[in-house]
Amino acid sequence: MSNSELLFEYLLRNGDDRVVLGQRMAEWCGKGPIIEEDLALANISLDLIGQSVLFLKYASEVEGKGRDEDALAYFRDERKYKNLLLVEQPNTDFAFTIARQFFYDCYEYYFYTELANSSDETLSAIATKSIKETIYHLRHSSEWMLRLGDGTDLSNAKLQDAVDYLWCYTAEIFEMTELDNALLADGIAVDLNKIKPLWDAKVSEILEKAKIKMPDENTYMIKGGRKGVHTEYLGHLLSEMQILTRSYPGAKW
């Protein structure tokens, strides 16, 4: 792959993480446990979708084939999506949503902290702009981790279930693929090995405070998202997300 093809792929990964998680969070709209929280989840969704636009717009420029960010989001099929498996997991319940968000926010925070130093000026600017939102997301999800984990027996059990279930998707986040290594050599990509210990420390700190047990360290880790090999859930998510644009291409309102 040429340098611009590598960068394009890197941007897709990052754009896809955010558009998929943004879509998931948007599913809460109108269904939140209480109106204030409904609004908070929708706000986070909008932030993530906004961030995905930044990555996909840049991806469109780098690719230079006239596919804009909407074309990239709405006219790629499941196998062309390169998001992490974690973010496509269904909402299930509030505890599950919060656990997924916490794992992700924590990663995104350290990711942006590093990406802000990228030799690619556009990426560095995206990171500097987005991290302000991420700090807030992490605060929101961390606070809920503590309240659910250290809440009632029921809320603790539900959060423990969610953490145990989602754990197998967390190793993929830090996998350094060939692409990561190639772009890291140019100072463009983030060294995921560098942020992994930070994520580990933060996650175990919050889990301990939340009275949630660390998941089994021998958990079998599932990967594949970066290669376009997804769990059964992504296809359904995309069909809902893409149906309008695909049914009425070029529709404006």
Partner 1 sequence: MENKDTQWNLWEVFVQYKAGKAYEHVGNVHAPDAELALQNARDLYARRERLAGMWVVPSEAIVASSATDSESFFDPADDKVYRHPLFYKIPKGVSLDVE
Interaction site with partner 1 (CB under 8 A): 34-37, 39-40, 43, 136, 139-140, 143, 147
- Residue 35 CB, nearest distance to partner 1 (Å)? 7
Q: Which residue, 146 or 171, has its beta carbon nearer to partner 1?
A: 146
In angstroms, rounded to a whole number, what is the distance separating the alpha carbons of residues 140 and 162? 17
- Residue 47 CB, nearest distance to partner 1 (Å)? 10
Q: Which residue, 36 or 232, has its beta carbon nearer to partner 1?
A: 36
Q: What is the DSSP string of 170-234?
A: SSGGG---HHHHHHHHTT-S--HHHHHHHHHHHHHHHHHHTT-PPPPTTPPPP--GGGT---THH
Q: Which residue, 32 or 90, has its beta carbon nearer to partner 1?
A: 32
Say how far residue 121 (Cα) sits from the centre of its chain: 22
- Residue 253 CB, nearest distance to partner 1 (Å)? 23
- Residue 146 CB, nearest distance to partner 1 (Å)? 9
Print burial letters for 14-25: b (CB count within 10 Å at least 16), e (below 16): bbbbbbbbbbbb
Q: Which residue, 32 or 228, has its beta carbon nearer to partner 1?
A: 32
